[in-house]
Amino acid sequence: MFDSGVGGLTVLHALLVRLPHEDVVYLGDTGRFPYGPRTREELIAYGRELTGILVAQGAKLIVVACNSATAAALPLLQRESPVPVLGVITPEARAAVRATRLRRVGVLATEATVSSGRYVEAIHAVDAGVEVIQVACPGLAEAIQGGEPYSERTLALARTATEPLREAGVDVVVLGCTHYPLIRHMLQRELGPDVQTIAAAEELAEEIAETLARKGWQRGDDHRGAYRFLATGDVEAFRIEGTRFLQLPIDDVEQVAVASL
């Protein structure tokens, strides 16, 4: 599993609960965080590099636990990778279509994800009649990962991001960045009690479980799954921030070098 930083640990947490017998290697590209302002070409290059590192680690399946990287690079990674690659957008799109009563769905995401149009495509692939209102949230992922997710600055960013969705009258909002679930309650308060929020973690964990079962690749129940961490940036900062996101102990983090850092 890889992500631009520690946000993907919200997905890892759900996966460890859903599949406690599987071994997981998590690679956080904290040295190049954030991904939101990056170009599509940069994100494709990063995705290829990180996928290659995880394949070299012996991964049987790759999870792109980053919405920006999924939006930019998933189809290409799926074509090029020797192992299956799953991303966060499609499971969320399906869940949003199932949940909406008004057929009006909001998406909060990074600039790169919104500009890609992938959420609109994924939602319309399930139901072309659903209206999709996207809002880019520059700076929000950085504020959440920066150590003060519940600060006045983060609250101001959340209020700015949710206002267009309230005005549009959506009844479902996709949290289109794996950092956003950490401030889910803050976003929910701004959206109101009648709006349902959808995040990648549980939906994607279920898709991973189904994929492994379909291919017969599950670990036996007698195996206690282990999890390891790699980071391209400061390993101590990753350990401190990551523990808060994962809600489980993180003892050791291995630093890895990437070509374009």
Beta bridge partners of 63: 86
Q: What is the DSSP letter of 260?
A: T
Q: Which of 177, 186, 201, 204 is catalytic?
A: 177
Q: 134-151: b or e for each residue (b if 16 or more CB lie within 10 Å)?
A: bbbbebbbbbbbeeebee
Q: Report in angstroms the alpha-carbon separations of 126 from 91, 119, 122, 130, 149.
A: 11, 11, 7, 9, 33
Q: Which of 63, 66, 109, 198 is catalytic?
A: 66
Q: Is 137 a catalytic residue?
A: no
3-class DSSP state of 233: coil
Beta bridge partners of 176: 109
Report which secondary-structure segment, H or E, holds 132. Answer: strand 131-136
3-class DSSP state of 58: coil
Q: Report in angstroms the alpha-carbon separations of 112 from 42, 67, 100, 186, 220.
A: 11, 9, 25, 23, 39
Q: 184-193: b or e for each residue (b if 16 or more CB lie within 10 Å)?
A: eebbbebbee
Name the residue type at position 107: V
Q: Is 177 a catalytic residue?
A: yes
Half-sphere exposure of residue 158: CA atoms within 13 angstroms, side-chain side: 24
Catalytic residues: 66, 177
